């Protein structure tokens, strides 16, 4: 039976941990890392995270502290020390009629919001928004500080929708924030800090999700950590109506939301 160990992170206070240093410390590298993304997005996502936490398995939860339901996520996570908590750095608000904006306030970061004061609805819109790096630093600092003041032990940051690792400038800012707040950075498929393998189930077609998941976890690379990223939710009316404005994959050809089924 494959061992499932808590998510290990690579960049801690600017120090990169190598294979050799981990072995010298007497620590075995984890075989499988499991990260749940978008926690705090809504009640349905939080309830799915709760079910996973209740199994007792070591997990990692990336929380969107800019989202309306983050406080419920905090209450849940305080009860489950088997879950490592990170900040899911958020600069987009990707649903049709369900939106959120900056923790710092719209007037503090005007280049990051639309006319209604919300984050852009897609990575494409964000890229074309004329964002200012200084305002991104202000906003993400506010998200991290909200997280640290929540009473949870925060150990890492990672990018929602990959934005904060998508350009050299944004990646440099992410690493700056990690050093500033003495946090680790969890991986993205195109940017790894430890040579880990990576599988994200978000974009996997509904019909092949289970098969793809089992294929990955049953064929882990024995020589390095293996990271599985999941986007989960309990199916209910709250999820059924969410129309994804960033990816057509999450909607049927006639526009019907598929997010609930995907998750």
CATH class of the region 11-262: alpha beta
pLDDT number for residue 104: 98
What is the SS3 string spanning 80-142?
Answer: CCCEEEEEEECCCCCECCCCCCCCCCCCCCHHHCCCCCCCCCCHHHHHCCCCCHHHHHHHHHH
Examine the pLDDT at 19 and tell me if it is beyond 90.
no
Instruction: Quote the pTM value.
Output: 0.89
pLDDT number for residue 17: 29
Q: What is the pLDDT of residues 129-163, one digit of tens each?
A: 999 999 999 999 999 999 999 999 999 999 999 99
pLDDT number for residue 63: 98
> For all residues of the chain together, what is the average pLDDT?
88
All structural domains of the chain with their residue ranges: 11-262
Q: What is the pLDDT of residues 166-209, one digit of tens each?
A: 999 999 999 999 999 999 998 776 787 778 898 999 989 999 99
pLDDT number for residue 31: 84
| From 55-64, 71-80, 232-241, 248-257, the region with the lowest mean pLDDT | 248-257
Examine the pLDDT at 15 and tell me if it is beyond 60.
no
pLDDT number for residue 188: 73
């Amino acid at each position: 039976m494959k061992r499932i160990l808590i998510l290990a992170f690579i960049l801690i206070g600017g120090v990169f941990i190598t294979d050799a240093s981990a072995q010298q410390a007497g620590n075995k590298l984890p075989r499988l890392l499991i990260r749940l993304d978008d926690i705090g997005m809504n009640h349905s996502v939080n309830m799915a995270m709760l079910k996973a936490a209740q199994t007792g398995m070591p997990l990692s939860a990336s929380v969107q502290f800019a989202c309306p339901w983050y406080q419920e996520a905090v209450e849940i996570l305080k009860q489950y020390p088997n879950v490592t908590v990170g900040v899911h750095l958020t600069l987009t608000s990707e649903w049709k009629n369900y939106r959120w904006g900056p923790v710092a306030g719209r007037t503090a970061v005007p280049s990051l919001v639309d006319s209604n004061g919300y984050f852009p609805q897609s990575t494409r819109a964000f890229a074309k928004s004329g964002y200012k790096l200084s305002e991104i630093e202000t906003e993400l600092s506010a998200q991290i500080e909200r997280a640290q003041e929540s009473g949870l032990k925060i150990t890492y940051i990672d990018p929602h929708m990959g934005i904060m690792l998508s350009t050299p400038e944004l990646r440099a800012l992410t690493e700056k924030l990690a050093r500033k707040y003495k946090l680790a950075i969890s991986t993205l498929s195109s940017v790894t800090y430890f040579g880990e393998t990576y599988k994200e189930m978000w974009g996997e077609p509904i019909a092949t999700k289970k098969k793809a998941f089992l294929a990955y976890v049953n064929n882990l690379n024995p020589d390095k950590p293996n990271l599985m990223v999941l986007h989960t939710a309990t199916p209910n009316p709250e999820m059924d109506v969410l129309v994804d404005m960033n990816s057509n994959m999450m909607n049927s050809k006639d526009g019907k939301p598929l997010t609930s089924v995907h998750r």
